[in-house]
């Protein structure tokens, strides 16, 4: 009788398409059953792509059937592909499974820092991730991702996103002259967003995150009009003034009919590296009443930590260079909660692509 261990060893050679880790390393293999003359394998992958499922099927069957002389039954569970749900039903980027708009009422609360770290956390969990810096007033994603000096590659009229820390990135900061953003007015903002959506060639993605400009203006509206935004995330700090702005952000999501995935409370407490004591500099837990009022959830609390700022300044996000530290764990948990929310949203409105159809070989 074959042992699970042996099957696992074979499956751990199957690299998940687009990544350098195997389906076993990503914990995508959820069950292995061995019967007399049959192996049954269950996979749960984050991609809705039929091409990826097909590629995995072929490789798994090939590897297993050369190693063992048994029938292979393979179940691949995939998320539902969302239906086009934006108010006017448009989706100018049909190869992308989910769109997440990250907003904040005001600048400086750590929106970009949070977005970068969540995006990389999602990629570490096996999702194909894109990040679009749409913050026309302060596009600082290139610096935070360490790609400030890299020029984007133009292929004719289209632009190739830049690969960094396991995700695809493009920033309006890489596309306009430095300082030009200061003079942008309403119609130009809308036009710039639409142009970017049209011109950047992302390829297939499981999720594209948008780092939005602070506030509730034209950029948010332009995005919602051109894409079925799957969910919105609000980043705030626990200060009272930041919370007032957060309310405006939440109302904007509601008005644009964007489901709210939750709130990230950033700079929530400070753990002193000298004595390990926690200090609540801006307060803590002050988002609770808001969460209740909007029937949403707290995605997570991220403390103030010097290493987070240093990671941003040096282009080496903390989740990338210290994936096991406490703050990185917070970002990972936020990413998991966000992903679960996206699955939930798609389950209730999505179109089934290929749901647990067994393939028998």
Ligand X SMILES: Nc1ncnc2c1ncn2[C@@H]1O[C@H](COP(=O)(O)OP(=O)(O)O)[C@@H](O)[C@H]1O
Which residue's CB is nearer to ligand X, number 168 or number 330? Answer: 330
Minimum separation from the CB atom of position 104 to ligand X (A) = 5
**319 near ligand X (CB under 6 A):** no
State which residue, 108 or 203, has the beta carbon closest to Mg ion: 108
Nearest to 134 by CA among 226, 210, 25, 218: 210
Tokens 């289209």 appear where?
158
As measured in angstroms, the least distance from the Cβ of 101 to Mg ion is: 14
209 binds, among ligand X, Mg ion, none (CB under 5 to 8 A by kind): none
* Least Å from the CB of residue 44 to Mg ion: 34
124 to 183, contacts with ligand X by CB under 6 A? 138, 140
Q: How far apart are CA 190 and CA 184, in angstroms?
A: 10
302 binds ligand X (CB under 6 A): yes
- The DSSP bridge partners found for residue 218 are none
Question: How long, in residues, is the chain?
Answer: 361
Q: Are strands 231-236 and 99-103 parallel, antiparallel or unpaired?
A: parallel
User: Mask: binding to ligand X, 247-266, rule CB under 6 A, as x and -?
Assistant: -------------------x
237 binds, among ligand X, Mg ion, none (CB under 5 to 8 A by kind): none
Q: Provide the minimum distance between the beta carbon of 264 and Mg ion in the complex, in angstroms, as a whole number.
A: 14
CB of 349 to Mg ion, least distance (A): 30
Identify what 266 binds: ligand X, Mg ion, none; CB under 5 to 8 Å per kind. ligand X
Q: Tell me the two tokens of residue 346.
A: 């798609």
Q: By CB under 5 A, name the one of 49, 103, 112, 296 that touches Mg ion.
A: 112
Pull the structure tokens for residue 41: 């394998």
When binding is defined by CB under 6 A, the residue of 133, 206, 265, 305 that contacts ligand X is 305
Tell the smallest beta-carbon distance from residue 229 to ligand X (Å).
19
Is residue 78 part of the contact set for ligand X (CB under 6 A)? no
The answer to whether 129 and 264 are in contact (CB under 8 A) is no
Shortest approach of ligand X to residue 264 CB, angstroms? 10
110, 142, 215, 262: which one binds ligand X (CB under 6 A): 110
CA 106 to each of CA 75, 131, 246, 299: distance values in angstroms, whole numbers, following the listed order? 46, 20, 8, 19
Strands (E), 69-216: 71-77, 99-103, 129-133, 153-155, 158-160, 162-164, 167-171, 207-211
Report if residue 246 touches Mg ion, rule: CB under 5 A: no
φ, ψ dihedrals at 301, nearest 5°: -115, 130
Three-class SS of 163-228: EECCEEEEEHHHHCCCCHHHHCCHHHHHHHHHHHHHHECCCCECEEEEECCCCCCHHHHHHHHHCC
The contact set with ligand X (CB under 6 A) reads 104, 107-113, 138, 140, 266-267, 302, 304-305, 308-309, 312
């Amino acid at each position: 009788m074959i042992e699970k261990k042996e099957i696992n060893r074979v499956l751990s050679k199957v690299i998940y398409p687009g990544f350098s880790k195997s389906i076993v390393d990503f914990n995508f293999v959820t069950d292995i059953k061995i019967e007399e003359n049959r192996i049954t394998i269950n996979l749960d992958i984050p991609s809705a792509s039929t091409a990826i499922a097909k590629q995995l099927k072929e490789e798994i069957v090939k590897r297993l059937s050369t190693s063992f002389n048994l029938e292979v039954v393979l179940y691949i569970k995939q998320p539902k592909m969302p239906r086009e749900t934006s108010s006017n039903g448009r989706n100018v980027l049909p190869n992308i499974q989910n769109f997440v708009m990250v907003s904040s009422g005001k600048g400086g609360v750590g929106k970009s820092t949070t977005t970068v770290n969540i995006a990389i956390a999602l990629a570490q969990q096996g999702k194909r991730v894109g990040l679009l810096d749409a913050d026309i007033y302060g596009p600082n994603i290139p610096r935070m991702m360490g790609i400030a000096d890299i020029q984007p590659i133009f292929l004719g009229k289209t632009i190739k996103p830049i690969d960094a820390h396991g995700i695809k990135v493009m920033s309006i900061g890489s596309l306009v002259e430095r300082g030009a953003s200061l003079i942008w007015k309403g119609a130009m903002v809308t036009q710039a967003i639409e142009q970017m959506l049209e011109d950047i060639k992302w390829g297939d993605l499981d999720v594209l995150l948008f780092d939005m400009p602070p506030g509730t203006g034209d950029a948010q509206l332009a995005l919602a009009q051109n894409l079925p935004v799957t969910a919105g995330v609000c980043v705030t700090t626990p200060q009272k003034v930041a919370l007032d702005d957060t309310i405006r952000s939440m109302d904007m999501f509601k008005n644009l009919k964007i489901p709210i995935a939750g709130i990230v409370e950033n700079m929530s407490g400070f753990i002193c590296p000298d004595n390990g004591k926690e200090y609540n500099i801006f307060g803590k837990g002050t988002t609770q009443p808001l969460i209740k009022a909007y029937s949403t959830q707290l995605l997570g609390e991220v403390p103030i930590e010097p290493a987070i700022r240093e990671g941003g300044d040096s282009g080496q996000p903390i989740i990338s260079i210290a994936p096991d530290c406490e703050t990185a764990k917070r970002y990972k948990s936020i990413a998991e909660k966000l992903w679960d929310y996206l699955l939930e949203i798609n389950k209730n409105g999505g179109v089934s692509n290929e749901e647990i159809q067994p393939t028998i070989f």
